[in-house]
A and B are shown apart, each in its own frame.
Chain A
């Protein structure tokens, strides 16, 4: 089993040592970054530091050196965002810092996405995402979408202030098996339940699995309204989507 000292990059070693507490997560990231090429470790470290210029430059260099786009994404970009997600979950960093890291990840993905699209890599599935009616907040939803896309899902982004009928039409038109709804306000959270009821009324509730999230949303609220999954943050969103696809 790899040890922390096996991780070559000093920044990543420090991050793991200082911010990761769960043994399974320490093991996973030590293993990942021990295996990752030094340049990809540098990319992951730049993601954690939110340095978009460095990520931009290093991603271009990695591709020029012949490293596969999928490897750069998995070991560098997603690997770095994985650490960021844990730090956010544990309140070591907050939304401005996460947005900065996401900006860095987008700088890397700008190089990677066109290559992956052209290569025709098979996607994990299609997820429809949207913020519910009456709510115009989209930071959390957009972070989820970025992580879902980075994890190999196709995402149909319906944007904000999405009416029940729009969610229903998107599911019927696309045949997507998983739908994600976001809300930031306690005043708009009930619109998640209304949307689920609209799917029941339209007799298509069984056609789609529904996950929910957003700062005020809880597992209890999710269960009460009849959602199939709840994610507290963007990392959880990816895990829930994978579980739902496995169950679909």
Chain B
């Protein structure tokens, strides 16, 4: 029996059987080429619902992925909270000016009740509605709501927040506790707008902090999110994470979006069926700089390991070629034809 893209993705997220492995992008496959094809360049596609939806739809209509993701960056909520932004142009990612943090202490935190009505969050909700109208019920729409650890980087500055985490664990926990409202409110608003699942980036990566940190500061919060946000959640953490995947597998989240710094076989062994994996095609070396055959080789390695959903490891470089991105669904089809 053939499944629709949406059925396939939801089945994989719920640990059920699929007709073939879904091709997912929990972060972003936006590229300059795709922006040109549908006249939806950055920064408009990050701030206006219509170009945002047009660009997001290309993941399915042009690349052949089973999912679309309208939130290309990780900064919509931070803008709504008042962070100083650098929206950039067509060929660069928008970013938060973390060297100019907006808060110094936990007491400074203010999360407005109407956060989701801010233009940079509302455009996401409107884009989700447009995508559902345009693509119908057969394509999976994934939204994105930032976790409190990543929000703290933006609002307090990375260096200051990391030092605080060492100097004052109680204050750090207070910050995370206060910021979780952002994650829950924006997540629930996207569910109401029509998403099927949510990516929850929370960058407690092994490139920055220990697995003990993940356990101490985030595991319980992530368990709380899995219970408080009523849709499948895909946790995203870049970089080395295999040392904390055991904790992540115990959060109750549906999936973990993992990076190519972690081997597929080793990662599958660690999570041991307790959480689905999504990933982990390398961005900077393979998708950006190599050939479709190289991309396919990485897809096959993931499928051979039993990874439940295939996609790039993270948001891809904007200059990545369409040919390399299309190689992902082609390889999945090839592999299933042979198995």
Contact = CB atoms under 8 A, between A and B. Distances in A.
A218 B285 contact: yes
A211 B205 CA distance: 24
A187 B93 contact: yes
Interface stretch (B123-131, B188-196, B207-215, B246-254): B207-215
A166 interface: no
Nearest to B172: A96
A75 B206 CA distance: 30
Interface SS of B by simple majority = loop
A121 B165 CA distance: 38
Contact of B163 (A96, A138, A161, A186): A96
A103 B239 CA distance: 25
Interface stretch (B54-62, B94-102, B143-151, B266-274): B94-102
Contacts of B209: 94-96
Interface string A89-106: 001011111011001000
B284 interface: yes
Given A94-B210, A137-B158, A187-B318, A216 B284 contact: yes
A11 interface: no
Nearest to B100: A136
Interface string B135-173: 000000000000000000000001100110111000000
A136 B238 CA distance: 17
Contacts, number: 92
Given A94-B208, A134-B88, A224-B289, A187 B316 contact: yes
Given A96-B165, A189-B317, A221-B284, A136 B99 contact: yes
Interface string B306-329: 000000011111110000000000
A177 B206 CA distance: 34
Interface in A99-147: 99-100, 103, 133-139, 142
B288 interface: yes
Contact of B98 (A100, A133, A136, A186): A136
| A contact residues, range | 20 to 34
Given A137-B158, A139-B158, A160-B99, A190 B166 contact: no
Contacts of B206: 91, 94
A2 interface: no
Interface in A141-187: 142, 160-161, 185-187
A189 B166 CA distance: 29
Majority SS of interface residues in chain A? Answer: loop
Contacts of A99: 159, 162-163, 166
B208 A188 contact: no
A216 B283 CA distance: 10
B92 interface: yes
Contact of B317 (A94, A137, A138, A190): A190
B333 interface: no
A138 B285 CA distance: 22
Contact of A138 (B86, B99, B239, B314): B99
A215 interface: yes
Interface in B269-307: 283-285, 288-289
A216 B239 contact: yes
Nearest to B318: A187
Contacts of A50: 166
Nearest to A97: B166
Contacts of A93: 210
Given A95-B209, A187-B316, A161 B86 contact: yes
A218 B159 CA distance: 23
Nearest to A188: B93
Given A96-B166, A134-B88, A139-B159, A186 B284 contact: yes
B166 A187 contact: no
B285 A100 contact: no
A220 interface: yes
A186 B162 contact: no
A189 B162 contact: no
B99 A224 contact: no
Contact of B285 (A91, A103, A137, A224): A224
Interface of A: 50, 91, 93-97, 99-100, 103, 133-139, 142, 160-161, 185-190, 215-216, 218, 220-221, 224
20 contacts: A50-B166, A94-B209, A94-B210, A95-B208, A95-B209, A96-B209, A99-B166, A100-B167, A103-B163, A134-B92, A136-B98, A137-B158, A161-B86, A185-B93, A186-B317, A187-B316, A187-B318, A190-B317, A215-B239, A221-B284
